[in-house]
Amino acid sequence: MALIGKAIKRALTLQTTLRKVRRRQSPEKMQDKTFVKLLRRAQFTAFGREFGFEDILKSVDPYEAFRKKVPIYNYDSLHDAWWHRSLDGEEDVTWPGKVQYFALSSGTSGAPSKKIPVTQAMIRSIRRTSVRQILSLAYYDLPPEVFEKGIFMLGGSTDLQWRSSYYEGDLSGINAAQIPFWFQAHYKPGKKIARERDWESKLEEIVKAAADWDIGIIVGVPAWIQIVIERIIKHYNLNTIHDIWPNLSIYVHGGVFFEPYKKGFEKLLAKPLIYIETYLASEGFIAYQSNNDRNSMELVLNNGIFFEFIPFNERNFNSDGSLVANPQVIPLEDTREGMDYALLMSTCAGAWRYMIGDTIRFVNRKECEIIITGRTKHYLSICGEHLSVDNMNQAVLLAAEEFEVSVPEFCVAGEIDDKVFRHKWFIGCDLPLDSELFKEKLDAALKQLNDDYAVERRSALKEMLLEVLPVDLFYDFMRSMGKEGGQNKFPRVMKKEQLELWESFVKQNKDK
């Protein structure tokens, strides 16, 4: 009998019950407290002095004063105005103390890496939210044995690079490097393999060691997790991954829409897994799925992040996804279900009114549960069609289901040529697929999901092109851009220079 597992499960259930009892505050009050704590901690930093945090805290309406005094930032503007000073080793810039770690954001293929500050306060915040997510496992019908098994986390190297005054690396590598001692016995692939920087070498070491592990939970980006599992199955001549990890029960994923990967992923399994979604960005742990019967994630409101919301519409954003001057910004209390919002974050890592670039939608406003609907820049509207990544994901999934195929990767570009507007799709599929028939089904699904698209397909948007490519070609392109493994994801919308690089790569490699 799994006595330790049963004890852990009982402890999780008790802690979760106590947490529900303690959570008497409304979401708005939790955010108000977080907001005040952040300003108090940062009031004597260079940023806090510049924008008068001390006076804001004394004002009748601190949030209104904050909104009037502090501008909205994106990565480039915050880096150029403030974060570059932290990179130079200066203390007390946008958060008290010296920043020891900078996370290299995964970005998208071909995009330069951003360096996001990761303070000790943020490391503690991420750890606290991670514990909360572990506690939420009490809601799941799991056998006690699962809580005694290993947790395989596929991320960036923990061998961080020293840059004169700070360390840099993937956020997953920074977090894994600071795993507490009590967790290390469960953590796989372990310290030695986790330090490996070369992705191929890391995969080889993982495959060799896999037979020695008893894994209950896996964590990572779907594309790379699937590649690892496929290699393990091939190396040991297995039928499924459960032949070597019979207790595998949970897959924790995030960063991309999982459904397109699910069909191919489940071919590698002998029994169903519980899928848990997380929203962990380089800027902080934003949300996590806390109930198995819901496909949404609970926004983390009382752990070092204050949120504001910009309605994602033509009033606030240009057709290329850039923010207009003087956009409408609202607090949590004014949000409502069914609308897409761009997220602004002020955090204990020294981000202030920072537009992370993601769009979210509340699906349960009372419980503050959200889904990710896309990126402000990964949004296609060359003639008013207003296609979101969520529209694209759902349409590709519907078309793929009709043909009974898996389409784990795709991208689309908008083109204007001699006043002719068209969309150009690249579909990743390893089974024979009639591109013309798939295009028809995809087009029909998009019309069904998006009225604006349907209107424009009858008028300005005259042409739709579609090319079916091997799935590996998408991953090979990411490798060629140095964006392999870890938290890296293939972009769903291609624009300008990135599109040129992709089309050139496809032309040179698709027939190899």
Residue-by-residue pLDDT tens, the chain, 512 positions = 344 444 445 545 555 554 554 456 799 999 999 999 999 999 999 999 999 999 999 999 999 999 999 999 999 999 999 999 999 999 999 999 999 999 987 554 344 578 999 999 999 999 888 878 877 776 777 766 777 888 898 887 788 889 988 998 888 778 776 666 556 667 888 888 988 888 889 999 999 999 999 999 998 888 889 989 999 999 999 999 999 999 999 998 887 778 888 888 899 999 999 898 999 988 999 999 887 777 899 999 999 999 999 999 889 988 777 899 999 999 999 999 999 999 999 999 999 999 998 999 999 999 999 999 888 877 788 887 888 888 999 999 999 999 999 999 999 998 887 778 899 999 999 999 999 999 999 999 999 999 889 988 988 888 899 999 999 999 999 888 877 766 678 889 988 888 899 999 999 998 76
pLDDT, residue 175, reads 79
- The reply to whether 260 falls in a domain is no
Domain for residue 487, yes or no?
Answer: yes
- Could you tell me if residue 261 is inside a domain? no
Shortest CA distance to 487 belongs to which of 131, 103, 180? 103
Which residues, including other chains, have CB under 8 Å from residue 7's CB and lie 6 or more apart? none
Look up residue 125 and give its two tokens: 């915040």
Cis peptide before 189 (omega within 30 of 0): yes
3-state secondary structure string across 347-404: ECCCCCCEEEEEEEEEEECCCCEEEEEEECCCCECCCCCCECHHHHHHHHHHHHHHHC
Q: Give 63-122 pLDDT, tens digit per residue.
A: 999 999 999 999 999 999 999 999 999 999 999 999 999 998 755 434 457 899 999 999
Q: Which CATH number is 449's domain given?
A: 3.30.70
* Tokens 């949120």 sit on residue: 307
**Element holding 456 (H helix, E strand):** helix 451-457
461 within domain boundaries = yes
Number of domains present in the structure of the chain: 1
CB 380 within 8 A of CB 412: yes
Residue 324: inside a domain: no
In a domain, 235, yes or no: no
Q: What was the pLDDT predicted at 2?
A: 44
Counts of helices then strands in the chain (DSSP H, E)? 18, 18
**Could you tell me the residue range of the domain that residue 446 belongs to?**
389-509
Q: Look up tokens 């519907």; give the residue.
A: 398
In a domain, 65, yes or no: no
> Is 75 exposed, middle or buried, given 0-12, 13-18 or 19+ CB atoms closer than 10 A?
buried
pLDDT of residue 462: 84
Is residue 426 included in any domain, yes or no? yes
Whole-prediction pTM: 0.83
